[in-house]
Amino acid sequence: MEYNVKVWRQKNAKAKGHFETYHVTDVEEDASFLEMLDILNDQLIRKGIEPIAFDHDCREGICGACSLYVDGRAHGPDDQVTTCQLFMRHFKPGATITVEPWRSGAFPVIKDLVVDRGAFDKIMQAGGFVTVRTGSAQDGNTLLIPHDTAELSMDAAACIGCGACVATCKNGSAMLFVAARVSSLALLPQGKPEAARRARAMVAKMDELGFGNCTNTRACEMECPKHVTIDHIARLNREYLKARFSE
């Protein structure tokens, strides 16, 4: 199969970007979207054209690095997948596919489709950790945690930090990401020592880095590849209020 790929090209962070359209051929319908970009880059190199820069790592839906806006949707026209899990059978042969980087002031473009998501790392450094010694793996069962509570914590911890929530939100809010990180720890005994400061510190850092406010449109929930729900935002709000009242 063959496609026309309308892709964002930007030489560096300071350069003005623009769209370029390329024709890519010899793409199998079972190829992943990133494999299609690999094929396109190989064809561009053979023509003496600089290849398209894009992020990728595990290509198994785990790392969240393959963050692309495809045809107006974060990670493309499929539900609960990362871009590396999106397959070319979702596109009609000969279709024009528009590929963009995340659009958020907090995620500046580095080159082409690559953005700097270091803001997420700074939020995590502000409070997304525990200081208690948790022991080795065999000590896990010595701390009794209700099954439902453990499952809720794991649901929140499923967040891979891809940034789809930010890219999708009309306000560019990172509330779902922050909520997932706070919620996964707030539900467990290991997270209690820092509970009084964690939510306050992470929300303050999020605001400092220029992310927008949450208006509960649920767009973030709809496009999250791991289906992290806004229930965790409600828990974050409760943790934040408790932290403020404990000051």
Domain end (from 111, 132, 162): 111
DSSP 108-159: -EEETTEE--HHHHHHHHHH----S----GGGGGGS---HHHHHHHHHHHT-
Same domain, 166 and 103: no
Same domain, 69 and 100: yes
Same domain, 126 and 235: yes
Average pLDDT over residues 50-68: 96
How many CB atoms are closer than 10 A to CB 201? 18
Same domain, 135 and 220: yes
Domain end (from 88, 111, 134): 111
Residue 243's pLDDT band (cuts 50, 70, 90): confident
Burial string for 151-175 (b: 16+ CB within 10 Å, else e) reads: ebbebbbebbbbbbbbbbbeebbbb
Q: Which CATH number do you get for residue 176?
A: 1.10.1060.10
User: What's the whole-number average pLDDT of the chain?
Assistant: 94
Structure tokens, 29: 């319908």
Same domain, 103 and 174: no
Same domain, 50 and 145: no
Q: In this predicted structure, what is the pLDDT of residue 245?
A: 79
pLDDT of 140 above 70: no
Instruction: Give the Cα separation of 10 and 4 in Å (integer).
Output: 19
Q: What is the dihedral of CA 142, 145, 151, 154, to 10 degrees?
A: -60
Same domain, 130 and 212: yes
Question: What is the tally of structural domains in the chain?
Answer: 2
Q: In this predicted structure, what is the pLDDT of residue 247?
A: 63
Average pLDDT over residues 171-180: 97
Residue 139's pLDDT band (cuts 50, 70, 90): low
Average pLDDT over residues 64-89: 96
Same domain, 240 and 123: yes
Same domain, 81 and 53: yes
Average pLDDT over residues 84-113: 96
Q: Which CATH number do you get for residue 9?
A: 3.10.20.30
Q: In this predicted structure, what is the pLDDT of residue 60?
A: 95
pLDDT of 136 above 90: no
> What would the pLDDT profile of 225-236 be if each residue is shown by its tens digit?
999 999 999 999
Same domain, 122 and 230: yes
- Residue 19's beta-bridge partner residues? 8
Q: In this predicted structure, what is the pLDDT of residue 143?
A: 76
pLDDT of 133 above 80: no
- pLDDT greater at residue 82 or residue 143: 82
Q: In this predicted structure, what is the pLDDT of residue 138?
A: 59
Q: In this predicted structure, what is the pLDDT of residue 196?
A: 83
Burial class (CB in 10 A: 0-12, 13-18, 19+), 90: middle
Domain span at 69: 3-111
